[in-house]
Copies of this chain bind each other. A is one copy, B any other.
Amino acid sequence: MAASKRLSAIFPCLEWAREYNRETLINDLTAAVIVVIMLIPQSLAYAMLAGLPPEVGLYASILPLVLYAVFGTSRTLAVGPVAVASLMSAAAVGAVVKQGTAGYIEASILLALLSGAFLMLMGLFRLGFLANFLSHPVISGFISASGILIAFSQLKHVLGISASGHTLPQVATSLAHNLPDVNGYTLAIGAGCLAFLYFVRLRLSGLLQVFGVPESVAGFVVKAGPVLSVVATILIASTWQLDAEGVAIVGAVPEGLPTLGLPAIHMELVRELALPAFLISVIGFVESVSVAQTLAAKRRQRINPNQELIALGAANLGSGVSGGYSVTGGFARSVVNFDAGAQTPAAGVFTAIGIAVATLFLTPLIHYLPKATLAATIIVAVLALIDFRMIRATWIYSKRDFLAMAATILLTLGVSVEVGVASGVTLSILLHLYKSSRPHCAVVGLVAGTEHFRNIRRHDVETCDTMVTLRVDESLYFANARFLEDQVYRLMAENEKLKHVVLMCPAVNEIDASALESLEAINHRLEDAGVKFHLSEVKGPVMDRLQRSHFLDELSGQVFLTQYQAYRALANGEPCRSNKAPTGGHNEA
Contacts and interface: CB of A to CB of B under 8 A. Distances in A.
A129 interface: yes
Provide the main secondary structure of the chain A interface.
helix
Interface string A131-148: 111111100000000000
A266 interface: no
Contacts of A490: 302
B493 A397 contact: no
Interface in A362-393: 393
Among A438, A510, A517, A585, find the residue whose CB has the most chain B CB atoms closer than 10 A: A517
A177 interface: no
A485 to B, nearest CB: 7
Nearest to A490: B302
B545 A482 contact: no
A132 B478 contact: yes
Given A393-B549, A509-B474, A513-B398, A302 B129 contact: no
B129 A434 contact: yes
A437 interface: yes
Contact of A478 (B135, B397, B541, B548): B135
A391 B558 CA distance: 27
A293 B489 contact: yes
A46 to B, nearest CB: 26
A302 B136 contact: no
Contacts of A541: 587-588
A294 interface: yes
A397 B293 contact: no
Contacts of A549: 393, 396-397
A544 to B, nearest CB: 9
A190 B42 CA distance: 75
Given A490-B302, A492-B300, A132 B517 contact: no
Contact of A135 (B393, B485, B512, B525): B512
Interface string A475-486: 001111111011
Interface residues of A, number: 73
A99 interface: no
Nearest to A301: B493
Given A294-B521, A481-B132, A588-B541, A396 B434 contact: no
Interface in A224-269: none
Interface string A518-551: 1001000110110000000001110001001110
A397 B434 contact: no
A217 to B, nearest CB: 25
A482 B402 CA distance: 20
A401 interface: yes
Contacts of A271: none
Contact of A473 (B129, B509, B526): B509
B398 A133 contact: no
A394 interface: yes
A294 B525 contact: yes
Contact of A302 (B394, B481, B493, B513): B493
A507 interface: yes
A516 interface: yes
A297 B529 contact: yes
Contact of A401 (B493, B512, B529): B512
Contact of A509 (B429, B440, B518): B440
A514 B438 CA distance: 21
Nearest to A492: B300
Nearest to A400: B512
B137 A432 contact: no
A401 B514 contact: yes
A489 B302 CA distance: 7
B129 A477 contact: no
Interface in A412-436: 428-429, 432-435
A517 B136 contact: yes
A132 B509 contact: no
A18 interface: no
B428 A478 contact: yes
Nearest to A297: B525
Contact of A132 (B396, B479, B545): B479
Contacts of A435: 510
A297 B541 CA distance: 31
Contact of A588 (B394, B493, B540): B540
A136 B483 CA distance: 14
Contacts of A517: 136
Given A545-B398, A548-B396, A588-B540, A493 B300 contact: yes
B513 A135 contact: yes
A225 to B, nearest CB: 27
A568 interface: no
A588 B544 CA distance: 12
Contacts of A492: 297, 300
B438 A433 contact: no
Q: Which 4 A-B pairs have the closest CB atoms?
A: A135-B478, A297-B525, A136-B514, A401-B513
Given A134-B478, A429-B433, 11 more contacts: A129-B437, A133-B479, A135-B513, A136-B518, A294-B525, A297-B528, A298-B529, A305-B486, A432-B477, A440-B509, A540-B587
27 contacts: A129-B483, A131-B482, A132-B480, A132-B483, A133-B433, A133-B437, A133-B478, A135-B477, A135-B478, A136-B481, A136-B514, A136-B518, A294-B521, A297-B528, A301-B493, A302-B490, A302-B493, A393-B549, A393-B550, A396-B548, A397-B548, A398-B512, A400-B512, A401-B513, A539-B588, A540-B585, A540-B588
